[in-house]
Every structure is written in C-alpha cells, then in structure tokens.
Chains A and B, each alone.
Chain A
C-alpha cells in the first residue's frame, strides 16, 4: 500500500534522498512528525493514566510514579465488566452475521438483476442510509415495547435480518464493478441465480464483504445511541459503551480505572484494524467515491 502513496506531482526521486541519515529525515518531515505526535499523544496519556493509582490519576502528573497493571483486573472485579463485554460481543457478532445474510442477496439483486422498481427501491435504500436514525426512533421504540423486547439488545439485532441500508449500498457499489461476463458464463453452465451469487460473485466480492462485515462489527461495538435507548433501564443488558459512559458515576472518579476500561473498549477495534487494514481502507474508500 505504501507504493500507492507516491505523490503524482512529486519530482522524480533522486538517489540522494534514499541515503539521507535519519536525522535529516526527521528535519525534512518535521511537519508530518508533529502532526503524528498530536494524533498519537491522547492514546499515550490514556495508557499512562491507566497504570496510575487512583490518587495520582487525579493530579496533573503525566508519568506513573508506580505502575499498577492490576487496574486492568480491578475493572473486571469492581464492575461486571465481563458481562458487558459479552453483551457487546453478542450484539456485534450477531448483527454482523445477520446483516451479511440479508444484505448480500439484496445488493446482488440491486446490482445485477433487472426488475421493475429496482431504481425506486435503491433510492429508498439511500434515503434509509442518509436519514438520521432519531427520526424513526420513537415509533420503533413503541413497536419494540409492544413486543416486550425493550430492555434487551434484540431491537438492535433483529432488524439486521432484514437488510442494512449502508451495507446494501456499499456491496451494490462493489458488485457493479464485477463484469457481467462472469455471471453469463456461469448461467450458460447451468447455474441458478443463487449458485451464481454463492459460487461466482461472492468469491470475487470478498474484499467488499470483508469491509461491510468490519464496518458492521465496529458500528455495533461502538454504538451508544441504540443500547442507550433500549437498555439504559436494564443494567444486565448494558454494552461496554454504556458501561463506560456510566463508569465514572458508578465508581466515583477513579480515572485510572476509567482509562483502563477505555483501553479495553478500544483494543479489539484496533487489533482488528491491524489484521484487516487493507480491506478496511478499501472499504472506507468505497464509501466516498462513485462506483
């Protein structure tokens, strides 16, 4: 991926730049280095504070006078953090699985099949994607209250069985770039439309499927509005996001523990990013440009 970052307007690279000692590199790149420091510094302070005593975390000290890795154990023993972690996992994994089951076929139908009304449906999908979720919050809440499911995470998981607008949009955009020749050839070989999708198109669309899966997982993992709406009254269903927002109230002002818990919430996302960086960056790019 580094190669793609070569600037189009840059003068041809001379041999000399490659032999620059690292101090010259630092001087040349002082601006990007300064920006990088600003971007990374907050993480550094969070990590350092997470290892402090609760007393020291209340001071303006930057460096822990003594290191307390047991803070990361304390967040599990002082609060039912493991339950919240499992709730977050359940929400994120089920939402992602359900979304893939329902959205891949819909995206295929919108990108590759000819049918009347497809354009109208696609416009509605775009509207669903663009409109603020708060617009339909109250009627949806009433619906789930009638079904007796408020207080749980099901109101956030079940709809994923019925398609996610953003994922459908993104997958459709990617499927449009796959030439129809593949599908036509498979059809001549006697494949049904489902077989075309599963055996021919899906393997070709793997990067886009990976991207929407990661996005959905992150969305659910990071989601605050949904769990707040449906589970704030029932602590047993809280996710990490909700627990974290309440941590300071539940546990006085133990900033060291709050920071340790914050790191716990950040960790899976950042680890996943490093494993799937390429698919992720491709996916983000796909959200911003025409197909």
Chain B
C-alpha cells in the first residue's frame, strides 16, 4: 500500500500520457482521420503511402539520418576535444569550463536566431571574417548544400552538456592506470588509446545512444532556422509554412510529421510516421536496455 501511495501519480502518468497515446497512435495509423469525421479503417494504406508514394517522407528521413551520421559524431569529437583541453589547462580551468559550457545554456530558439544572423551571407560577421581571409563564404542557412552543415555548427557550439559528462568521465579514470602505463613506456597517444578510451567506453556508448535519440527528435533548430532564414511573412499556415527552407534541405522527419498532422490534418498518416519513428527509436533504446546494469547501476 505504501508503494502505491508513492507511485500512484506516476503510474497514472505512465498510463494516460504514455501507454494509452502509444497504443492509440498505432490504432490511428491504420485509419484515415482528419479530425472532422470519425476515423475510418484503411489497413496498411498509410504505410504503403509512406514507403512508396511520399517523396517528402523519404527526403525527411534522409535529412534526419544525415544529421544522425554527422551531428552525433561531430558533437562527440568536439565534446571529447574540449574536455581533454580542460584537463590540460591548469590555471584558469574553472574560467574555461564556464566559457565552453555557456553556449549549451542558450535557449535553442535564441541560439538559432543568433546563428542565422551571424551566418547571414551578405552582412554576417562570419562571412565578413572569411572575406577578410580572402575566402568567399557560402550562403549557409540559405543554401540547400550548407543548411544542414550550418545546423551542425550550431549544435557543436552548444556542446557543453556533453563536454561536462566527458570531463567527469575523464577525471574518473584511475590515476594509477596512467602511472602504470607510463612506467611501461606508453606515450601520450598510447595512454589515451589504451587507458582513457577503454575506461570511458560506457560513457561514450551512452552518449552515442542518447545523441542518436536526440537527433531523431531534431525539431526546434531546424524549424526556427528555416523560418528566420526564409524571411517570409507567416501566412495562415503559421510557422510550419516555412519548414524545410531552403528546398526541403532542413525538413527533418519530426517536422514532416508535424506538417502532416497539424498543417494538413492528416492524423492517420501522421500517426503512421510516428509509429515508424517509434520503431526506430525503440531499436536504438534497446542497445541501452541490453546493457541495463551498466547503464542504470546497482539493481534492487
């Protein structure tokens, strides 16, 4: 009974705000439903449309996969690099840690707007600096080729949270391991390769999995960057009318889901997109759950 007293609100939450909507998403994905009429059962039709007849869904999935393949490793490398730099800095370490961390605090909407402004092809300081170096800067957020790399730069700027996690892991590596390696004649790189990396492996795995999951949900920065860079006045469709600018280059999978559901009110199809996202995200989560003990610590 005591347990129930402690757990009751959370158990209600799990049921009402997670399991029930999850099951109804699966149900709605087999229907045609536009909010006006009652849902109509259409079998696999939404899924057939998704995989065979919706080039935008393919485009959106490829954009998201591109971000997973580039943003996640780039952020991990940047986090590891800055964390190593912090272990190397002895005087003023606290100052550098705060400065490196600060961008991670900037609210994503504000940070994205600032980046679109800084990377403005004509008047932004970034291209100004490149021009001073004699390089002609790209169109950044206005170019289909450079829009996603620009988002990667934005994500790398805000790498602080990951850096702090890596820093803690680096500092937790037992000192005697380094001393033993040094006695055995290991150089700087060898110590990193054979002591640091193996000791950090669980943290790196965790960071990779959560990074992939976060990137599968990538929404805010892509939505805001497209809206601000396009410079179009919003019409009846609201902010979603600019999603994907330029040329669908920043249309991520969750953005496509949002447009399908809340711009075209195609709730059945949006749920089919959601179920596919669930399957992919769940498969990634399983990697963590299989290492349950390592991940969540001692079991009761």
Contacts and interface: CB of A to CB of B under 8 A. Distances in A.
Interface of A: 1-2, 4-10, 13, 17, 25, 29, 31-32, 35-36, 39-43, 45-46, 49, 58-60, 62, 101-103, 105-106, 108-115, 118-119, 121-128, 130-143, 145, 159, 161-163, 165, 168, 173, 176, 193-194, 197, 218, 221-222, 224-225, 228-229, 232-233, 241, 244-249, 253, 255, 258-259, 262-263, 265-266, 269-270, 273, 277, 281, 284-285, 287-291
User: Which label, helix, strand, loop or mixed, suits the secondary structure of the B interface?
Assistant: helix
Q: Which 7 A-B pairs have the closest CB atoms?
A: A162-B13, A288-B165, A163-B10, A291-B297, A106-B10, A139-B21, A5-B93
Contacts of B262: 141, 229
Contacts of A132: 213, 216-217, 254, 277-278, 281
Contact of A138 (B207, B274, B296): B274
Interface of B: 2-3, 5-7, 9-14, 16-22, 24-25, 28, 35, 82, 85-94, 96-103, 105-111, 113-115, 117-118, 122-125, 128, 157, 161-162, 164-169, 171-173, 175, 178, 182, 188, 191, 202-203, 206-207, 210, 213, 216-217, 219-220, 223-224, 227-228, 231-234, 238-239, 254, 257-258, 261-262, 267, 270-271, 274-275, 277-278, 281-282, 284-285, 288-289, 292, 294-300
B107 A266 contact: yes
B7 to A, nearest CB: 5
Given A232-B238, A285-B168, A273 B14 contact: no
A9 B191 contact: yes
Main secondary structure of the interface of A (DSSP, over half): helix
Contacts of B35: 142, 145
B113 A258 contact: yes
A62 B157 CA distance: 20
26 contacts: A1-B97, A5-B94, A35-B100, A41-B125, A43-B102, A60-B122, A60-B123, A105-B9, A113-B3, A127-B282, A135-B22, A135-B278, A138-B267, A139-B20, A159-B17, A163-B9, A228-B239, A232-B238, A244-B109, A248-B231, A270-B106, A281-B101, A284-B164, A285-B164, A285-B168, A289-B169
